[in-house]
A and B are shown apart, each in its own frame.
Chain A
Amino acid sequence: MKAIIAATILGIVMMFAGLQMKNKSSVVTLAIVLAFLLLGVNIWDLVATPATAPVGYFNNMLRIDRYALWFSTLMTGVTVLYTLLVGKEIQKVGVHVAEYFALIFFILCGVYILSCYNNMLMLFLGIEILSIPQYILAGSDKKNLKSSEASLKYFLMGAFSTGILLMGITLLYGATGSFNIVAYSFLQSDALNPLALGGVIFVMIALGFKVSAAPMHMWTPDVYDGSPTPFTAYMATVVKASAFFAFIRLFQVSFGSISSQWTVVLSVITAATLLIGNLTAVFQQSVKRMLSYSSIAQAGFMLFAVLAVNAVAWQGIIIYAVAYSIATIGIFTVLMKLKDYTYDGFNGLAKKEPLLAFVTTIFLFSLAGIPLTGGFMAKYYVIQAVMVQNQFLWLVIFGLLMAAISVYYYFRVIIAMYFKEGNAELHAPVTQGEKVLLVITCGLVILIGIFPQLLLSWI
């Protein structure tokens, strides 16, 4: 709760800092300091809240529990890592550096709301607070037409999905007379009103759009590809992860009791997402575009957690969110150093920058789900969640098959780096500080892979 206020205030501070500070790099420094401050507030919140039953705030608009606080803290931690790694690159996007960071703080405000909302109105607001800054960040590189295109596309598609979300909320309200997600009357009655089920499906589609699940994924490649890379890194990680957290929160807490009504359709969505994400990623020539498709594919795996209505799924989504976010931010950091975003741009990187190539390899291992990296544990937990549910074994096998395909396109990058001749050109030499940060990030990926329990210690 404190974090929501803090994120808003820090965002405003950032805005005014843009007026006063003319030096871009000092703006970045300030942003890093404020991000750390926000992390501190989150930890304070976490420590100060006893692990008792969830507490409702503001007429049950919010419902704070350990999962919510811990997830907020983790996402803030990832954001701190993000600002440290990517801060320098954000300077290069445009002139309004302070505003970009202000928007990122506002996004975090949305993340916090989505982690503890207890009311459909708050879900809607959280989704919008999460999305609108993204539309702007996507279009922030105004010299680049692709960026403007991405922004407009994202905005139009996003507006459409907002309409669907509102439609869903309306139908649910019409059927039950409530916005409170734990007080929906169908939780008690036996026969489910089709009106309510329609609402559930609409909400599923709208949230599926936000997490880029097929067939609502079409915007993802264009937007991720067109946006300035530093912001793509954020959209694909923290934003997507918290949309997933909102997804699982609603579908477990609220719709969990009628799960037999929607799991079949969600399993179809999951299978389609896995198929489209993985198969299309195979054919890409640009690593950035490949990563967009891979983020669709990874979303398919995260949907496993939504599909399984049990406690393991919560653990799974937390581990997946963190493991996937860290690895993806790491890859994007390396990508931003390169001049050429195609696979050929990676040719011979191992010769030139062995450390960079090595950490990239670890990040790709994690995304591919090779054991001893965080990605393996993440996949393990979400699959375990579905296995415990004792349904959808076919989906699990299908997912594993798709994971095998994903190895192909992730390893193409490794092959390019290690096994191909070439002269991977960098924008600027990588500094010692950046190397240390990348090694720490890489260490985190492996740490999660060996001690996944660390991520669950607070819930």
Chain B
Amino acid sequence: MTQLVYLIPLFPLIGFLINGLGWRTIPKTAAGIIGSLAILASFVVSVGIFFEVNSPSFHGPVLVHLFDFIQTGKLYIPFTFQVDALSTLFLLIITGVGFLIHVYSTSYMHHDEGMVKYFAFLNLFVFSMLLLVLGANYLVMFIGWEGVGLCSYLLIGFWFKNRDYTNAAKKAFVMNRIGDLGFLVGMMMILFNYGTLSYGEFFGKLGTVPGALGENTYNWIAVCLFIGAIGKSAQIPLYTWLPDAMAGPTPVSALIHAATMVTAGIYMIARSSVLYNLAPFTLHIVAIIGLATAIFAATVAIKQYDIKKVLAYSTVSQLGFMFLALGVGAYTTAVFHVMTHAFFKALLFLGSGSVIHAMGGEQDIRLMGGLGKKMRITQITFLIGCLAISGIPGFSGFFSKDEILAATYAHDPILYYMALAAAMMTAFYMFRLYFLTFTGKFRGTHDQEHHLHESPSAMTIPLIVLAILSVVGGYVGLPAVISEHHALASYLSPVVSNAGEHHMAAGTEWLLMGLSSGLSVVMIIYAFTANKVPSFVPNTGLAKLLENKWYVDEIYDAVIVRPLAALSGLLDKFVEKSGIDGIVNGVGKGVRYGSDRIRMLQTGQVGFYIFVMVLGIVALFAITFFGVKL
């Protein structure tokens, strides 16, 4: 079965080709069915592989060689897939949640004229994401990495008629590229120091072959890879693209910007756990950045009014939790949270999609309220999602988040208290969202109220399935005090090596669990009392700061974007305008004045060109003869 792994990315690729090539002729319904079936087929194969990987007879990773990719001198990079516990788990998440979101989209996007194109992009995304997790070396991962970035770009800008949306798409792409730069440099350092990009070889050589920079090599490589992860997984300082990415269709936000793509960074670090264990300094940075992001994004989410923006910042915050887990060396816990988060965050996004659908495109929660009466299924599933993300005992989020908190406590209690604060804020803003949307009185227009309805079954069934998963998904990883057997950890143990196991007294663990869940309940009650009616009074002071997301976008604009644009403009002005066109008249003028003047024009311009060239020659000679020698 594992040898058939190439089928998994093949199906979405075929789906993409069919829908992509025939996007003008294929009827919408057929496109939805093709797209969904392609993912379903991949899911079935993934399940088959999962059972094989999970069986006791499975030993070590299976490498499936497809073809030779690069062969230069000593360097050899094949195009190979790696099947092991980690990649299989991600396969299940991607194809499983992906399938549900495809089904949901068949209904959600049905009124959109670009539906066929949409499914083509979505399939292409799943294909790239599968490449990312299946690759047996960093280069294949990088190809998938770029691919998902591209698809995310295409899908954020899917409703391209809105200029803001295309700008959001561009922002996402550029920020991702900055991160990719780090990834690339990291890859080169690996290549340079170890002569390979394959996981197996690289990890094998790690402990034994010292790099060019000695011990620091590990840290340098790890930091560079982490920069890539920061970009892709929207951490401080490269997180601002993710909230803007909500411009895309809601199922896209659910799939790409909550469940799968943004967790690629966590996947990469978990995959490289051997490396990160050797780089404690970098791990420390990972933990700090993760925690800072978790707190920071949570504060912003408290004061947002756009239903999707709240969820977006909550995603950034949850990703921060995952990085915190990675940073304290609890890799399996981070992967665990990736899984539960995929369930409940996809559920919440799809639920919000259902709400937006019913409200006719309205996203401001101040104009909602009382939707629960009209949309029972959406309300209940959304509530389950909120309970899960807030970490109420019994729901999946509780188990994974509690594990993160426990691991953090074992690592450093100070980090623990800060993380706890972020978790409290999570409970608050999620239930603020819930109460404002589903309870109280309806505050929208009369037309909207009339229009309110429950979504069709193609949308509610995925919600129900995800709600069930959000409840039971946590039971694969019971806390140590409840069960000796942590199913997920033992499943992942051959691939991911946690940095130091922590054992704490049963009493402490019970105490931590009780503390976090108790505080969550308090916050929910507080959210209920504080948010019966939203205030339309403009915010002031800290609240205003939060509502405007700490003005980070504005700061970036002033510090980075504008100076760059100014530099480019300056070059344009001096080299293009003042330099050339300034010495002589512009070419356009010349055409009008006729050939006699043109002759003069050229002598002037060429003279200037040659002037620059001569100065260049002088400089180059000076460097050669009087400059630094190697």
Contact = CB atoms under 8 A, between A and B. Distances in A.
Within the complex, are A and B direct neighbours (CB within 8 Å)? yes
B26 to A, nearest CB: 13
A245 interface: no
A280 B575 contact: yes
A311 interface: yes
A411 B167 CA distance: 12
A354 B24 contact: yes
B535 interface: no
A404 B613 contact: no
B616 A215 contact: yes
Given A149-B598, A215-B616, A411-B173, A261 B624 contact: yes
Contacts of A400: 181, 184-185
A419 B572 contact: no
Interface in B575-608: 575-576, 587, 590-591, 595, 598, 601-602, 605-606, 608
Nearest to B140: A371
B150 A370 contact: yes
A268 B621 CA distance: 12
Query: Interface SS of chain A: helix, strand, loop or mixed?
Result: helix
Contacts of A451: 67
B274 to A, nearest CB: 23
A197 B613 contact: no
Contacts of B590: 145, 149
A276 B154 CA distance: 29
B181 A387 contact: no
Interface stretch (B70-78, B289-297, B463-471): B70-78
B620 A372 contact: no
B623 A215 contact: no
B191 interface: yes
B575 A419 contact: no
Interface in A272-331: 276, 279-280, 282-283, 311-312, 315
A283 B568 contact: yes
A420 B165 CA distance: 11
Interface stretch (A43-51, A67-75, A151-159): A151-159
Interface in A202-223: 204-205, 209, 214-216, 218-219, 222
B620 A205 contact: yes
Contacts of B75: 384
A418 B160 contact: yes
B533 to A, nearest CB: 40
B564 to A, nearest CB: 9
Contacts of B68: 453
- Interface size class on chain B is 35 or more
B161 interface: yes
Contact of B613 (A160, A194, A276, A408): A160
B142 A268 contact: no
A219 B580 CA distance: 11
Contacts of B625: 194, 197
A419 B174 contact: no
Nearest to A280: B571
B612 interface: yes
Nearest to B607: A156
Contacts of A276: 571, 575
Of the listed residues B68, B69, B624, the one surrounded by the most CB atoms of chain A closer than 10 A to its CB is B624
Given A279-B568, A312-B72, A407-B173, A401 B181 contact: yes
B562 to A, nearest CB: 14
Contact of B188 (A371, A391, A396, A408): A396
B613 A153 contact: no
Contacts of B170: 408, 411, 415
B150 A201 contact: no
Nearest to A392: B630
B191 A283 contact: no
A384 B157 contact: no
B627 A264 contact: yes
A260 interface: yes
Contacts of A109: none
Contacts of A35: none
A396 B630 CA distance: 17
Interface string B497-529: 000000000000000000000000000000000
Nearest to A379: B184
Interface string B31-49: 0000000000000000000
B482 interface: no
Contact of A201 (B73, B161, B621): B621
Nearest to A421: B161
Given A396-B188, A419-B166, A453-B70, A215 B606 contact: no
Contact of B185 (A198, A219, A381, A397): A397
B568 A420 contact: no
B157 A415 contact: yes
B563 to A, nearest CB: 12
B630 A264 contact: yes
Nearest to B630: A260
Contacts of B610: 157, 160
A282 B565 CA distance: 9
A347 B617 CA distance: 42
13 contacts: A153-B605, A157-B606, A160-B613, A201-B621, A215-B615, A218-B612, A283-B576, A370-B146, A370-B150, A381-B72, A407-B173, A407-B174, A421-B161
Given A354-B24, A400-B181, 8 more contacts: A145-B598, A152-B602, A194-B625, A260-B629, A261-B624, A384-B191, A408-B170, A415-B166
